[in-house]
Structure 1
């Protein structure tokens, strides 16, 4: 994915509210399932991670993207933005 598409997705995600919150127990199978359900429904989602350690949040982001074959769009503070194109895309990315 090129930088123009990433910038476009970041602009779309600006108005989104987090649909999944990851608490102190971390990334469990049920959390991954909930993220997958929301990716199927929306393609672009915002996730809030309740952990103060940046390296833990980055590892969760990479684990989410690897497990669900998604793309990390942005990571700022406690929020991450993840995108996965649906079989019938709702979001048309710029070329």
Structure 2
């Protein structure tokens, strides 16, 4: 399992402000949690560090539950859930790439 860092309240507020203008890049539909969904989530987190996830109406699972499961499976920090949208953050550990988001200390 990959290491999950714990964010401070100040860092979460900062990430929520960044996420408020974002469009969802991962959508969870009727198939729910699948290997391809997890792979696309991990790829998006590597590329962006902060992503918005949307649970579509045809998903049979509760949005809070499936977004939390996805965050855990992807090794990401769950920043917030509002309605059917969730915000996930994972710092890029690749030393060749600069961090896209500089968190406040």
Tell me the residue number matched to 1:42.
48
Q: CA deviation at 1:52?
A: 7.8
Q: Hey, which of these two has a bigger chunk of helix by percent? A: 1
Q: Which runs of 5+ in 1 are unaligned?
A: none
TM-score, length-scaled by structure 2: 0.82
Q: Which residue of 2 is the match for residue 89 of structure 1?
A: 99
TM-score normalized by the length of structure 1: 0.90
Which digits, 9 at most, give the CA deviation of each residue in 1:3-39, with x for residues without a partner? 0000000000111100111111211111011111100
Residue aligning to 2:19: 13
Q: CA RMSD in A?
A: 1.7
Q: In structure 1, the residue corresponding to 2:62 is in which secondary structure?
A: helix
What 5-or-longer segments of structure 2 have no aligned partner? Answer: 1-6
- Distance in 2, matches of 1:68 and 1:13, equals 18
How many residues matched?
94
Please list every run of at least 4 consecutive aligned residues from structure 1 whose deviation after the TM superposition is greater than 3 angstroms. Answer: none
Find the aligned partners of 1:76 and 1:66 in 2 and give their Cα distance: 18
